[in-house]
Amino acid sequence: MDKHTRGNLFGNLKLSKKFLLMYIFGIILPLVITDVFLIRSIYEAELKKQAFTRENAIDSYANYFDNLLKNDASVASAFDLNKSLNSFINALYESPYDYYHAYNTTIENSFFTTFADYNRDRIVIYSNNRTMLNGNYFHPLSEAEDEVWYTKYMESGVNEAFYAYYDYEPVMRSFDQKRFIYIRRMTNTKSAVDKLVTIEHKNWRISEDLSEILVDCAMFVCCDDYIIYSNKYPNTDYQSLQDKAAKKTYMTVKEYPMYGNTLTVYAFTEDLTITNVISNNIPVILLLIIVTLIIPILLMKILERSITERISILGKAFGEGDNDIFQPIKEIKGSDEISALMHNYNRIVGINSELTNTIYKDKLREREIDIARKNAELLALQSQINPHFLFNALESIRMHSILKGETETAEMVQKLAVMQRQNVEWHDDAVTIEEEEGFIDAYLQLQSYRFGERISFDIDIDDECKHILIPKLTLVTFVENACVHGIESKSSQGWIFVRVYKKEDDLVIEVEDTGDGMDEEDAAALQERMNNVTIDTIKKAKHVGILNACLRIKMMFRDQAKFAIESEKGIGMSVIITIPSEMITTST
């Protein structure tokens, strides 16, 4: 099928059928495939969970037997290290009375009975000392020779071991036929007497302890070919267990070598199928179907209706137009692209294209004229301020020459040159606050020649503010005003302070003097003029220095700068300029 044929095929289909194809191939099939993979992931997670459960169950059982045998080994070791107990067993007694006396003395004065009776079912020490009487904790070694455990122990050649088995004819008929026994040879003291200590546990007590370990699988604990314990199938024999293990898939087996023998633990979980996974996770599967299938399909259906209905309305509106006259759409729902298209259609219907073009050109022309006027006004302001500073600086030099002669004229001219050079360079009206600080310092140094000790000054500018851009020669204008109208009219010593800092991220500029100050009404009037200055205001004013600086600051910072005056007659005056942080630009 070529490109042209495919284009005609899809181009001839209605929008509803296109959405149907999109549902099937763009949503339903991908989501079904995704759900299959998700269910598969859940299945694999269940497999891992079962394996983890089996591992934990096996480790719990193994830890139980490990702790049990470690405890037995500790008790047997304590018996082996007990000197009085070994002396009692190694001694040869002349009469039963001597043995009985030694027995009472040894047992009463030792920890033997405490260990023997604590959580153990039977502790016996076997020896070949024929002078000892048979009974209670001590038995002749010949009595053990017919036991199953003794035969296995002697054949193994190890020093300590444990065994589990089913003894059909135990020596002690009162004891359980199911046997779990720990054996250790007592070799700590050299003697001709051979000694063995055995610790036996009743099988029902082991079963009772293991039943308290909560596991979620079928468990078997084996030693050699004997099943010590099973939590779910107590009557299973060893061969049946092997047959079950050969067929069972979901099984974990671990072997634990312990004390000359091996403990084998089996854990079985139920066969896991997809059906089991689904039945065990019905809430999750239902939520998965709702989230990944039902909700997306319903949402796509709603979106389809929203699109097709409005496109039909728009199509009818275009179709109803005769003789190039179109009727506007009366009701527009929504705020998406289709709604915007309908609104645009109504706008096109209501507006003549030629009139729109004319209005656009007029607005563009007015904007160009406004930009040109602003540039012209800025140049006028810049040219206006140059002689203002020049005349004041020259006046300072003149007054100094009259009062003191001309010995320091060269230094004054050097300060004047710094300011004059900046006056004539108007290629860039914006300078950094750090550069403006140089102009202020030059100007105040120049005024120091004029006023002598009558003037002192301090410039304090935070480092984070030094690279912020401001209009050139605006701060020095406020400093000049402080000198001329503040310090000059005061006979005593005066101070000028210039501070620039950040306050809540806004830029704050303060110029303070300790001159004569202004009364409250005059200060309020000046503040009003500074905050509402315009080109027309400057054209009508006689003294334009401060207002010029204020206007240039307001123009640079888009009329967002605020001016405040704090003044007290006879004390001094402070001008505070606040510029919002979002209006600030830097040189870097």
Cα–Cα–Cα angle for 522, 567, 546, rounded to 5 degrees: 65
Question: Cα(26)–Cα(20) distance, rounded to whole angstroms?
Answer: 9
For 260-288, what is the mean pLDDT?
A: 76
- Worst-scoring range by mean pLDDT, 217-226, 361-370, 418-427, 435-444? 418-427
pLDDT (tens digit per residue) in 7-25: 455 566 666 676 777 777 7
For 414-439, what is the mean pLDDT?
A: 68
The dihedral built from the CA positions of residue 209, 213, 217 and 223, taken in this order, carries a sign that is negative
Structure tokens at 314: 């728009």
Place of tokens 């009727």: 327
Question: Cα(2)–Cα(113) distance, rounded to whole angstroms?
Answer: 99
67 confidence band (pLDDT: 50, 70, 90): very high
Question: Cα(25)–Cα(31) distance, rounded to whole angstroms?
Answer: 10
Question: Cα(370)–Cα(382) distance, rounded to whole angstroms?
Answer: 18
Question: Cα(184)–Cα(439) distance, rounded to whole angstroms?
Answer: 101
Q: What's the one-letter identity of residue 245?
A: A
Q: Is the pTM of this model over 0.85?
A: no
Question: Exposed/middle/buried for 521, CB within 10 Å: 0-12, 13-18, 19+?
Answer: exposed
Set out the domains of the chain in order of their start, with CATH numbers.
27-280 (no CATH), 281-350 (no CATH), 367-583 (3.30.565.10)
Q: What's the one-letter identity of residue 180?
A: F
Structure tokens at 392: 């004041």
Question: Cα(522)–Cα(480) distance, rounded to whole angstroms?
Answer: 19
Distance of alpha carbon 517 from its chain centroid, rounded?
A: 57
The phi and psi torsions of 42 (rounded to 5 degrees) equal -65, -40
- Model pLDDT, residue 370: 57
For 125-139, what is the mean pLDDT?
A: 89
326 confidence band (pLDDT: 50, 70, 90): low
Mean pLDDT for the chain? Answer: 79
Look at 323 and 546; give whichever has higher pLDDT.
Answer: 546
321 C-beta neighbours (distance < 10 Å), count: 11
Question: Which ranges of 469-578 would DSSP assign to H, the alpha helix?
Answer: 475-482, 520-531, 535-540, 545-556
376 confidence band (pLDDT: 50, 70, 90): very low
For 383-402, what is the mean pLDDT?
A: 57
Question: Which ranges of 513-581 would DSSP assign to H, the alpha helix?
Answer: 520-531, 535-540, 545-556
Question: Exposed/middle/buried for 67, CB within 10 Å: 0-12, 13-18, 19+?
Answer: exposed
Instruction: Answer yes or no: are the C-beta atoms of 585 and 509 closer than 8 Å.
Output: no
**E strands present in 269-320:** none
Q: What's the one-letter identity of residue 514?
A: T
Question: Cα(264)–Cα(147) distance, rounded to whole angstroms?
Answer: 23
- Model pLDDT, residue 255: 93
Distant-in-sequence, close-in-space partners of 145: CB < 8 Å, separation ≥ 6: none
Q: How much helix, strand and coil, in percent to the nearest 5, is found in the chain?
A: 55, 20, 25
352 confidence band (pLDDT: 50, 70, 90): very low
